[in-house]
Amino acid sequence: MKRLVILGGGESGVGTALLGKQKGFDVFVSDKGIIAPKYQKILLENNINFEQNKHTDSLIFSADIVMKSPGIPDNISLIQALISKEIKIVSEIEFASEFTKAKIIGITGSNGKTTTTLLMGHLLKKAGFDVGIGGNIGDSFAQLVAEKSHENYVLELSSFQLDGIVDFKPNIAVITNISPDHLDRYQYNYDNYINSKFRITKNQTATDFLLYDADDKAIENWLDNNITKAQKIPFSIQKELKYGAFLRENKIILKLTSEEVLMTVSELALKGKHNIKNAMAVAITAKLFAIASKNIAQSLADFKPVEHRLEYVRKINGVQFINDSKATNIDAVFYALDAMDSPTIWVVGGVDKGNDYQVLMPLVKEKVKAIVCLGIDNEKIIATFGNVVPVLVATNTAKKAVNIANKLAEKGDTVLLSPACASFDLFKNYQDRGIQFKKAIQEL
């Protein structure tokens, strides 16, 4: 019996443990921190051995294969020791893929991958396909494979998950966009991060497809200088394409076999230029599944937006409140501000990830009437925008931020939480930040 050791007792780790036990492995889970009660319960119910608050070398180095959770970097001593002992280390995505013959749609990108994943799943399910949706959102890929053998999987894939693949390949890969993010994990080298994203296509063959944003300079540059065997299908909102999806007179045009008008931009359920691109990627995929255009358009029109991503909360005295807590980098905030069509009170801040706020300056000058900083260290934001917007206020709770923003707002304005930063200074995660923001709005 082969021994499978899993480092990390979170979503991907426990999902891998379930699948590993199902497939006959001797499974052991090791977590340096505390394993959440809900995951401990699953491990105990399934008689899976585990340890927490420590890594015991003798129990780990006896592994035939190690699954490393995506949050664990490669440069720590334990991982380096495993490498030196030539013990195989894989990601959960890699491990799970060995136990399914399903068609896989893999979606990555710095922004938009969650929305695109859920929109893709929504459309395929409405068209009658058997689909499992997960990966970096919801249930882990391993748990999905363990619990039910779907015919198709739509997976959100982070760069961390892609770093651990060996043979994994999606039949359809989507790269929504690439902008600097998580650079601390990639030696502060943007090229390393870009290459990590493109691992999604490294094992694709000529029968597979790579869908990508043709307006994205990082993507275009990589494709100009590297080779993928996959069939490339671009999408664009800036130029007409000979092949792919593009905009013409505010209409989404598909040009795969013959040219056709899919729908007008105003019919999309999701607003903003970035969501037009997300919809294009989904529409192209749907065409590869031979779904009728009228059904594609209907699904794109009736999809409900993702929580914490440009999520409309409510309107109070003519002021609309929008929760974009998932916007944890500059590019995501750029999309959010670009989508605003009214004077905006921008709630921003948290743990800075090396942000260059100058990229946002034209949009801030055009659309932002006041800034409310929500974070412990707001110096960089204040230094950048203090002389640009008429009002800038710093605070350290979601409730205070909402109350201040509400006082600053006038009828017809928008209060936008779009932090550009990680949440860990004041909140558990971006979801907690968004929930507290929404709760404070409901209490106004």
pLDDT digits (tens, 9 = 90+) for 45-72: 999 999 999 999 999 999 999 999 888 8
* C-alpha separations of 153 from 44, 134, 169, 170, 172 in Å: 28, 8, 12, 9, 10
* pLDDT at 67 (0 to 100): 94
Res 365 pLDDT > 80: yes
Q: Which of 166-170, 190-194, 297-301 has the lowest mean pLDDT?
A: 190-194
CA distance 41 to 273: 43
The CATH number of 94-302, from 3.30.420.130, 2.40.50.140, 3.40.1190.10, 3.10.180.10, is: 3.40.1190.10
Comparing CA positions, the residue from 165, 197, 201, 163 lying closest to residue 180 is 197
Mean predicted confidence (pLDDT) in 363-391: 95
The answer to the question of whether 110 is labelled as a binding residue is yes
* Superfamily per CATH, domain 311-443: Mur ligase, C-terminal domain (3.90.190.20)
* pLDDT at 181 (0 to 100): 66
Res 180 pLDDT > 70: yes
The answer to the question of whether 8 is labelled as a binding residue is no
Single-letter amino acid, residue 239? K
Distance of CA 79 to the CA centre of its chain: 25
The answer to the question of whether 113 is labelled as a binding residue is yes
pLDDT digits (tens, 9 = 90+) for 109-135: 988 888 899 999 999 999 999 999 998
Res 305 pLDDT > 90: no
Q: Domain 3-90 class?
A: alpha beta
The answer to the question of whether 9 is labelled as a binding residue is no
pTM of the model: 0.77
Question: Where exactly are the structural domains of the chain?
Answer: 3-90, 94-302, 311-443
The answer to the question of whether 56 is labelled as a binding residue is no
